[in-house]
Amino acid sequence: MTRTKKIAGALLALPLLATACSGGEADGADASVGPVGELTIAMVTHANPGDLFWDVVRAGLDQAASDHGITTTYQGSGEPAEQAQFIETAISQDVDGLIVSMANPDALRGSVEQAVEAGIPVITINSGAEVSAEFGAMAHVGQTESVAGEATGERLTEEGLTNVLCVVHEAGNVGLEERCAGAASTFDGEMRNVQVQVSDLGAAAATIAAELQSDDSIDGVLTLNNGVAGAAVDALGTAARDDVGIATFDVDSDVLAGITAGDILFAVDQQPYLQGYLPVTMLYLYAANGNTVGGGQPVLTGPGFVDASNVEQVTQYAEQGTR
């Protein structure tokens, strides 16, 4: 049975199922979506192995699969060409839904459009919100990076910072550039970007330290990744600077410990667990009940802020792997 027929059959079965259960009369107390048979949903992301952020996304993916009784698969690569190959493999496997993060949209356009043309419903997550609908995806789940950046710039101003480094850890990632640009647009002080590689946090710390040593007017560092936040904390020690505030995007146990200790001012939380859980649920409901979500607008999972006022609560959730 083709995917289109499978989904259409499930939808056509809904009124028949309702009639069989209620004798032709609607019974709201027993209302539920119909069975969809065996569904397989593939997630393909731009994550490198060992990235703690994407571990939380996968936790959401796995929980949604368990909750809805469906099969999910996961593959990730920081190389756009390999990510495109993973998508094409999922297409050849005739999956029933596809979830894709698009840090480098141009490199993935062909494969995503190929999936749409094959009748596979696609939901994008995390990155690529601006082109998601253009590529044919039915929805986007994540944080609009420019909006998150703007909120962060305002928060940096509130913290009293005046000269901030924005640390970009992945060349060519449009979402990261949007974060820095958004922050710069609302920050009252000076901000400039510096490039590091997330795959070498020791070198990243050295680069940040060198910047701090060469310019003592820098009083803030904004990192765009939880791992790089730790490198920034190390850099302050290397540079012997205790007059620099650190803020970061994304949350993990180390970031939360840094906030608790006063080493990090705040973290921007885009709630990665939701980026794994929600798209699976949305694809399940699309197959089972014809539902779509978002109305053409991104389904936002952030930004939220974690600071000294709520770090204790968030730490409890992080310990169970859901924040």
- List C-alpha distances in Å: 1 to 8, 9, 290: 11, 10, 19
Specify which residues 167 forms β-bridges with: 194, 223
Residue 298 located in a structural domain:
no
* Gyration radius of the chain's alpha carbons: 22
128 and 276 housed in the same domain: yes
> What is the SS3 assignment for 34-78?
CCCCCCEEEEEECCCCCCHHHHHHHHHHHHHHHHHCCEEEEEECC
Q: Are residues 159 and 126 in the same domain?
A: no
Question: Based on the domain organization, do 117 and 198 belong to the same domain?
Answer: no
pLDDT of residue 246: 98
261 and 277 together in one domain? no
Sort 243 into a burial class: Cβ within 10 Å, 0-12 / 13-18 / 19+: exposed
Q: Could you tell me if 254 and 224 lie in one domain?
A: yes
Peptide bond into 303 cis (omega under 30): yes
Question: Does some domain include residue 17?
Answer: yes
Does residue 283 sit in the same domain as residue 242? no
130 shares its domain with 190: no
What pLDDT, on a 0 to 100 scale, did the predictor assign at position 32? 62
Q: Where are the alpha helices (DSSP H) in the chain?
A: 3-22, 52-68, 80-92, 105-117, 129-132, 145-158, 174-186, 201-214, 226-238, 253-261, 272-289, 311-319
DSSP H or E segment with residue 220 = strand 220-223
Look up the domain containing 109 and give its range. Answer: 3-143+272-292
Residues 153 and 7 in one domain: no
Decide: helix, strand or coil at residue 259.
helix
Pair 128, 82 in one domain: yes
Q: Is residue 300 part of a domain?
A: no
pTM of the predicted protein model: 0.77
- Residues 261, 283: one domain? no
- As a whole number of angstroms, the distance between CA 95 and CA 241 comes to 52
Q: What is the mean pLDDT of each run of 10 residues along the chain (323 residues)?
A: 44 38 43 73 92 91 97 96 98 98 95 98 94 97 94 98 97 90 98 95 98 98 96 97 96 95 97 97 97 94 96 94 90
Q: How many domains does one find in the chain?
A: 2
CA 78 to chain centroid, in Å, comes to 14
Angle at 236 between CA 204 and CA 160, to 5 degrees: 110
Domain at 152, CATH number: 3.40.50.2300
Sheet of 220-223, strands arranged across:
190-195, 163-168, 220-223, 245-249, 266-269, 304-306
Q: In DSSP terms, which residues pair with 245 in a beta bridge?
A: 220
User: Which amino acid, one-letter code, is at 233?
Assistant: V
Residues 89 and 230 in one domain: no
44 and 131 within one domain:
yes
173: phi then psi, degrees, rounded to nearest 5? -85, 105
Please tell me the number of Cα atoms within 13 Å of 291 on its side-chain side.
15
State residue 290's pLDDT score.
95
pLDDT score at 18: 38
- Output the pLDDT for position 22: 36
Measured in whole angstroms, how far is the alpha carbon of residue 248 from the centre of its chain?
A: 15
| pLDDT at site 175 | 85
* Residues 146 and 178 sit within 8 Å (Cβ to Cβ): yes
In a domain, 299, yes or no: no
Whether 19 is covered by a domain: the verdict is yes
